[in-house]
C-alpha cells in the first residue's frame, strides 16, 4: 500500500472519530483538534503529489567533472525518474548532450549503436522507434561544430522542460554515441 492510500485511510479514520457522538463538554474543542490533524494529513498528501508534479533531472553530472574521457559526466541522474501524469521533467543539461525521450513501448534493447560517429541517430531515430521528445543539440563538438542558437538556446548549460500528458514508461537516452555507451540512459515512470 502506498503512502497516499495510508494517508487517505487515516483521514477517513479520523473523520469517523470526529463524527462519532460524544457526551463530553469538550466535544467542540476535540472536533477542532481532529480537524486540525486532518488538515495536516491532507497537506502531507498534497506535498507527495507536488513532489512528482515538477521533477528535476541531471542530464550530465555537472561542470566539475571534466577529465580525460569525461565518463563521470555521462550519466542521467536519477536512473529511474518518477513524475505525475501531466507533470514536467526539467532536464538540467550540463555539457555536450542531446536528449531523446522515446514514446512508451521503446525499450533499451532496441537501441542500435553504430560502429562510429558522434550521434546514435542522425538526424533522428527511425519511425520504428517513435519519439516523445527530440532534444536540442549542444553547440560545439568536433569540427565543423554545431553553431550556437539563442531561441531555444543550445548552450551546454541549459534546461529543457518536457511535459508528460499520458502515463507510461519512457526510455530517455543521450544521443551522443560515446555517452550512451558509457550508460547515459534512464527510465521515466509517469503515473
Residues 99-158 binding Cu ion (CB under 5 A) are: none
Count of residues near Cu ion by CB under 5 A = 5
- Could you tell me if 102 and 129 are in contact, meaning their C-beta atoms sit under 8 angstroms apart? yes
Determine if 176 is a binding residue for Cu ion (CB under 5 A). Answer: yes
Determine if 173 is a binding residue for Cu ion (CB under 5 A). Answer: no
| Least CB distance to Cu ion at residue 40 (A) | 43
Cβ-proximal residues to 129 (8 Å cutoff; 6+ apart), any chain: 102, 106, 110, 111
Give 48-54 contacts, CB < 8 A, sequence gap 24+: 48/3, 48/4, 48/7, 49/84, 52/82, 52/83, 52/84, 52/87, 53/83, 53/84, 53/87, 53/88, 54/87, 54/88, 54/90
- Could you tell me if 132 and 170 are in contact, meaning their C-beta atoms sit under 8 angstroms apart? yes
Q: Closer CB to Cu ion, residue 19 or residue 63?
A: 63
| Least CB distance to Cu ion at residue 97 (A) | 3
Stretch of 26-34, 40-48, 138-146, 179-187 lying at the interface with Cu ion (CB under 5 A): 179-187
Stretch of 11-19, 44-52, 139-147, 167-175 lying at the interface with Cu ion (CB under 5 A): 167-175
Determine if 179 is a binding residue for Cu ion (CB under 5 A). Answer: yes
Among residues 83, 101, 173, 174, the one that binds Cu ion under rule CB under 5 A: 174
Residues forming the site for Cu ion (CB under 5 A): 97, 174, 176, 179, 184
Amino acid at each position: 500500500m502506498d503512502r497516499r492510500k495510508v494517508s487517505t485511510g487515516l483521514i477517513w479514520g479520523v473523520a469517523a472519530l470526529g463524527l462519532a457522538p460524544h457526551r463530553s463538554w469538550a466535544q467542540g474543542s476535540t472536533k477542532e483538534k481532529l480537524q486540525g490533524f486532518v488538515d495536516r494529513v491532507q497537506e502531507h498528501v498534497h506535498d507527495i503529489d507536488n513532489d512528482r508534479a515538477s521533477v528535476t533531472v541531471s542530464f550530465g553530472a555537472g561542470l566539475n567533472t571534466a577529465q580525460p574521457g569525461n565518463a563521470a559526466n555521462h550519466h542521467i541522474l536519477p536512473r529511474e525518474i518518477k513524475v505525475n501524469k501531466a507533470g514536467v521533467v526539467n532536464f538540467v543539461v550540463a555539457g555536450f548532450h542531446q536528449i531523446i525521450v522515446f514514446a512508451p513501448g521503446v525499450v533499451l534493447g532496441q537501441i542500435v549503436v553504430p560502429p562510429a560517429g558522434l550521434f546514435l541517430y542522425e538526424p533522428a531515430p527511425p519511425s520504428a522507434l517513435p519519439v516523445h521528445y527530440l532534444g536540442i543539440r549542444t553547440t560545439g563538438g568536433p569540427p565543423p561544430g554545431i553553431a550556437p542558437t539563442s531561441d531555444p538556446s543550445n548552450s551546454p548549460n541549459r534546461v529543457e522542460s518536457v511535459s508528460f500528458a499520458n502515463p507510461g514508461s519512457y526510455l530517455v537516452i543521450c544521443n551522443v554515441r560515446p555517452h550512451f555507451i558509457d550508460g547515459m540512459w534512464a527510465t521515466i515512470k509517469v503515473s
